[in-house]
Amino acid sequence: MIARALLVASLVTVAAGLTAAPELVDNPGFELPPAGDEGAAVAPGWQVDIRSRDAAEVADASACSARRDDRAPHSGGWCLRLEAGGGLLTQLWAEPEIEGERGRLIPVEGGRRYDFSYWARVPDPGTILVGHVIFYDADRRALQGRHARLKTSADQTGDRWLRFERSVPIEEEATFAVVHFACGWGSGGRQTAWLDDVQFSLHE
């Protein structure tokens, strides 16, 4: 009995010492509400912009949006609904605090491995959601080596939540990362995708 108690105590101690790598994306499940008009802003920690497919800014983005949605999230009480149309891209950027200022760059440790994942639901045929982590050097130049890129389509998920994940080793000179999503790469018409539980962290 004493030996069993000691074994249990040892296992508890070991388990208590195991901690998950900290999440590097703010508000990864979109649970925190935006300030002001609930229906007009994306969740804190995220920034949205609308672009044409040639990366030019557009004047009319009425067909595109990114809004919190409380209908059937993957977990918690909220997820994010992305809509795109008119041949435009709805882009979503993780935007954490860096040295007290808002910015898109997340500090990373060069030469290490990082995990990137998210849950998505893409029920409409022709809709494509792309998740992407881009790494930069200290001069904020994009590195052309290993990037984490995941493509999600209706053929994969249908009307159900599915997790997409990738673990990637990064270059020694990598200093920053950008977490980015884009909806609107699919075939014409209005495109809708749901996103939840984004994860970007150091691989442990």
Residue-wise pLDDT tens digits, 164-177: 999 999 999 999 99
Q: What is the CATH number of the domain that holds 42?
A: 2.60.120.260
Q: Is residue 125 part of a domain?
A: yes
Measured in degrees and rounded to the nearest 5, phi and psi for residue 109 equal -100, 115
Q: Is residue 96 part of a domain?
A: yes
What is the number of structural domains in the chain?
A: 1
Q: Is residue 170 part of a domain?
A: yes
7 vs 197: which has the higher pLDDT: 197
Position 82 pLDDT exceeds 50: yes
Q: Is residue 138 part of a domain?
A: yes
203: Cβ contacts below 8 Å, ≥ 6 apart: 21, 112, 113, 114, 115, 167
Position 68 pLDDT exceeds 60: yes
How much is the pTM? 0.82
Q: Is residue 29 part of a domain?
A: yes
Q: Is residue 191 part of a domain?
A: yes
Its domain, for residue 69, covers 24-202
